[in-house]
Structure 1
């Protein structure tokens, strides 16, 4: 299912580059949603601004989505896994919508909210696994802390054109979803933090 999501997102993004009207129909737009175009709350996640944006998101989705698919599919099925991904898109964009719902010039696109959900769900399970950031190995839990701090500060400054809010809320949804699925993960996560050599937790 992860590969299908990657293929679908890539195909829709390429089509949107060729036909800008498709991009305009899918991108998150407060006036559009206000006029009942609720599909934009999900559609924005299937289009990307450029090749770098698309490639970075799809590579990240591949590495963490394939792992989380193996973890989640036995418990919630393939449909449940896809719904987890789609709910990540929705939950991540809702705070943005509440903040910018009266701003007709605001736009947002990209799958980062859902991918952040996958990433933080993974980090909850494997806090001491190594993530390679610019080819430098970084413990996942330290990356998560740095990522949250950076996103909060960048969102507050608002100097770039990145929707950091979607990253934060998407990541939060990944954690909430996993804890809702397996409440005991909270205690087991704290135990794993105290034992770096354990590597982390896997759902049984």
Structure 2
């Protein structure tokens, strides 16, 4: 029986390996070491004392738990090889990392807008003081909450897949009939936008990073002049 990994494209295969290797410390190390890794390699707001420039790349290779990495890697495993074989390994590599970097930059921009809305500046003035506990809590959340995971880059891959194979039928969990990619992906984007704008209580997902990755992928596919393929149309 042929291994399900035998048809993996080279960039996807290496990304899967790197992500799994980077996830191992969360299993092998103690909580203090894991916190150190998150503080140094997850992405923080650019005015946060935890922010480091390299975080705009390293954040893509950290995940918050088994469910987080499983669904990201499952999506990469499912859709990545098709996209890579369609556009070539070099373009796929560029797509993945440009979408991942674009995703966190858009997330930082949204956080900057939130900070500006709260204090009138994109950074906290040295003279800033307030007794408003609610305001302090919101600022602390923005400055101390890490963003991590490959989701922004994965969203870029999904958008590229949808643009290249809009009529490929996909099976979605809890939906008993196949649905074409061109219908699924816009709905998914709309859900992310709604959740991002709504900021529902208890939701700590970086929805605007997801949307950022999707937007960058859309722009890249258009710039590269890549359209629908001749298959699955």
> Is the TM value for this pair above 0.5?
yes
5+ long unaligned stretches in structure 1: 193-197
Q: How many residues align?
A: 186
RMSD after superposition: 2.3
Cα distance between partner residues in 1 of 2:85 and 2:217: 15
Q: Deviations over 1:51-91 (max 9, x none)?
A: 01100000100111111110121xxxx34432221111101
Listed as ranges, the matches of 1:52-201 within 5 Å are 52-73=67-88, 78-101=89-112, 102=123, 103-134=142-173, 136=175, 137-159=178-200, 160-182=203-225, 185=227, 199-200=232-233
SS across alignment from 1:83: helix
1:100-131 residue CA offsets vs partner (Å, 9 max, x unmatched): 24531232111010001011001001111122
Q: Give the TM-score normalised by structure 2.
A: 0.72
SS at match of 2:167: coil
Structure 2 Cα separation of the partners of residues 34 and 61 of structure 1:
33
Range that drifts further, 120-129 or 33-42: 33-42
Q: Is contact 1:16–1:23 with CA below 8 Å preserved after alignment?
A: no
Q: Would you say the 8 A contact 1:16–1:47 is kept in 2?
A: no
Whether the 8 Å contact between 1:57 and 1:111 is mirrored in structure 2 is yes
- Larger gyration radius, structure 1 or structure 2: 2
